[in-house]
Amino acid sequence: MAKEAVRVLVTGAAGQIGYALVPMIARGVMLGPDQPVILHMLDIPPAAEALNGVKMELVDAAFPLLKGVVATTDAVEACTGVNIAVMVGGFPRKEGMERKDVMSKNVSIYKSQASALEKHAAANCKVLVVANPANTNALILKEFAPSIPEKNITCLTRLDHNRALGQISERLSVQVSDIKNVIIWGNHSSTQYPDVNHATVKTPAGEKPVRGLVKDDTWLNAEFITTVQQRGAAIIKARKLSSALSAASSACDHIRDWVLGTPEGTWVSMGVYSDGSYNVPAGLVYSFPVTCQNGEWKIVQGLSIDEFSRKKLELTADELSEEKALAYSCLS
Ligand code: NAD
Ligand code: LMR
Mutate to test the pocket of ligand 2, among 17, 91, 93 (most ligand atoms within 8 A of CB): 93
Specify the CATH number for the domain of residue 10: 3.40.50.720
**Whose Cα sits closest to atom 18 in ligand 1?**
109
At 102 the pLDDT is: 79
**Whose Cα sits closest to atom 8 in ligand 1?**
15
The whole-number average pLDDT for the span 246-256 is 98
Mutate to test the pocket of ligand 1, among 40, 43, 323 (most ligand atoms within 8 A of CB): 43
Say yes or no: 181 and 146 in one domain: no
The answer to whether position 142 is within a domain reads yes
CB of 136 closer than 6 angstroms to any ligand 1 atom: no
Q: For the chain, what is the mean pLDDT?
A: 96
Say yes or no: 71 and 188 in one domain: no
- pLDDT tens for 48-60 read 999 999 999 999 9
The answer to whether position 226 is within a domain reads yes
User: Does residue 216 sit in helix, strand or coil?
Assistant: coil
Whether residue 99 is predicted with pLDDT greater than 70 in this model: the reply is no
- pLDDT tens for 174-184 read 999 999 999 99
Helices and strands (DSSP H and E) totals, the chain: 12, 14
**Whose Cα sits closest to atom 10 in ligand 1?**
12
Say yes or no: 194 and 320 in one domain: yes
- Confidence tier at 208 by pLDDT (50, 70, 90): very high
The catalytic position among 40, 161, 188, 254 is 188
* Dist CA 156 CA 159 (whole Å): 7
Asked if residues 175 and 203 have their Cβ atoms less than 8 Å apart, the reply is no
Specify the CATH number for the domain of residue 222: 3.90.110.10
The answer to whether position 125 is within a domain reads yes
Say yes or no: 130 and 269 in one domain: no
- Closest residue by Cα to residue 65 from 92, 89, 107, 36: 36
Whether residue 70 is predicted with pLDDT greater than 70 in this model: the reply is yes
Say yes or no: 128 and 225 in one domain: no
Last-in-domain residue among 126, 155, 184: 155
- Closest residue by Cα to residue 61 from 15, 12, 16, 28: 28
Provide the residue count of the chain.
332
Say yes or no: 308 and 319 in one domain: yes
- pTM given for the model: 0.97
The domain containing residue 233 runs over which residues?
Answer: 158-328
At 267 the pLDDT is: 98
The answer to whether position 320 is within a domain reads yes
- Confidence tier at 100 by pLDDT (50, 70, 90): low
Whether residue 1 is predicted with pLDDT greater than 80 in this model: the reply is no
- pLDDT tens for 289-320 read 999 999 999 999 999 999 999 999 999 999 99
The answer to whether position 1 is within a domain reads no
Q: Is 120 a catalytic residue?
A: no
Say yes or no: 109 and 73 in one domain: yes
Residues annotated within the binding site for NAD(+) are 12-18, 43, 106, 130-132
At 275 the pLDDT is: 98
Q: Are strands 84-87 and 6-11 parallel, antiparallel or unpaired?
A: parallel
* Dist CA 272 CA 69 (whole Å): 29
Distance of CA 63 from the midpoint of ligand 2 (Å)? 29
> What is the percent of the chain with per-residue pLDDT over 90, rounded to a whole number?
92
181: left (phi over 0), alpha (psi -120 to 50) or beta: left
Say yes or no: 242 and 169 in one domain: yes
